[in-house]
Amino acid sequence: MDEPPPIAVEFPWWFVRPKQINHRLEIRAVLGLPLELTSGGFRFELRPATMGFLVLLESIDSPFFLKPAEASALDICRAAACANGGEELLAGGLPAIDAAAEKLALPFRRGAKLSPANLLIENYGEVVEWLLSIPWYGYEMLRNKSKHRAQEEFLFCGPSLAAIIDTGTKYANLSAHDAIWTMPLALAGHLIEVNDCGTLHPERPKDAEDLRIKTAEYIDREMRGEPHPWQEKEPELYPLSPRQRYEQFKRKMEDPANGKA
């Protein structure tokens, strides 16, 4: 018997669920509204990530950006200070960032047990999502991804800054300064995305975990020669693959009823 055809994983894209999106936070970020952290009657606001924010984090090799799961309380406060600060922190360097971060550890008022640092740590998962995930939602939807930049020592340097300035001035009528320091990256990504896909409709990326699970299930069904759900639903549109036909033929030939066992 000939060798079985190799398994090529091919299934309808609609069969994989889209990546789960935090629409509430995405809307706030795109509109430039802050994330509100509240507890015990106190509130702390955290601005959405901008290109300037990333430049500040990279200038201090922030563990919050590189390995958020390993970030210390000081790293978290530094990141929050960079998100709410501006170019004056870049001019002042690490001492200025640390001074702003230390202020976040002070109680909201005399006698209070809570500080902005407490709220940041208590809501750390949401803070990470707000500053490190939400900003890239639009970029994940880009269709034209053929342009790649050679790796440089700094990620958020001249080309990145120029791209953000180009986006802000071209699509949002902003100054170069505001494109870097006030335009949310969440907005920039979606501005680039809607002007990138041409005649194609913007589309959310697929859920990576769901894709992994369904790929494994696909291979398992192919190995057994079983039909896939979409083949059962629309057999004329999705005929059996060569591997499925091979496995079904082999099973039929090995069936004792055929006298071949």
Same domain, 76 and 115: yes
CA–CA dist 184, 172 (Å, integer)? 11
In a domain, 18, yes or no: no
Number of domains in the chain: 2
| 201 lies in some domain | no
Q: Which residues, 6+ apart, have CB-to-CB distance to 211 below 8 Å?
A: 16
Quick count: other Cβ atoms within 10 Å of Cβ 111?
Answer: 6
Q: Is the pTM of this model over 0.85?
A: no
In a domain, 173, yes or no: yes
Q: Are residues 35 and 132 in the same domain?
A: yes
Would you say residue 225 lies in a domain? yes
- pLDDT, averaged per 10 consecutive residues of the chain (261 residues), comes to 73 84 96 95 96 96 94 97 94 95 92 92 97 94 67 81 95 96 96 77 80 89 88 88 84 68 46
Q: What range does the domain containing 219 cover?
A: 206-258
Is the domain of 43 the same as that of 109? yes
Query: Does 95 reside within a domain?
Result: yes
38 and 164 inside one domain: yes
Residues 234 and 183 in one domain: no
Are residues 179 and 57 both part of a single domain? yes
Question: Do 190 and 210 belong to one domain?
Answer: no
Give the per-residue pLDDT at 3.
Answer: 72
Residue 101 resides in a domain: yes
Domain co-membership, 165 together with 239: no
Query: In this structure, is residue 69 part of a structural domain?
Result: yes
Same domain membership, residue 123 and residue 227: no
Phi, psi of 45 (to 5 degrees): -105, 135
Residue 144 falls inside a structural domain: no
Same domain, 48 and 159: yes
Residues 210 and 239 in one domain: yes
Same domain for 48 and 160 = yes
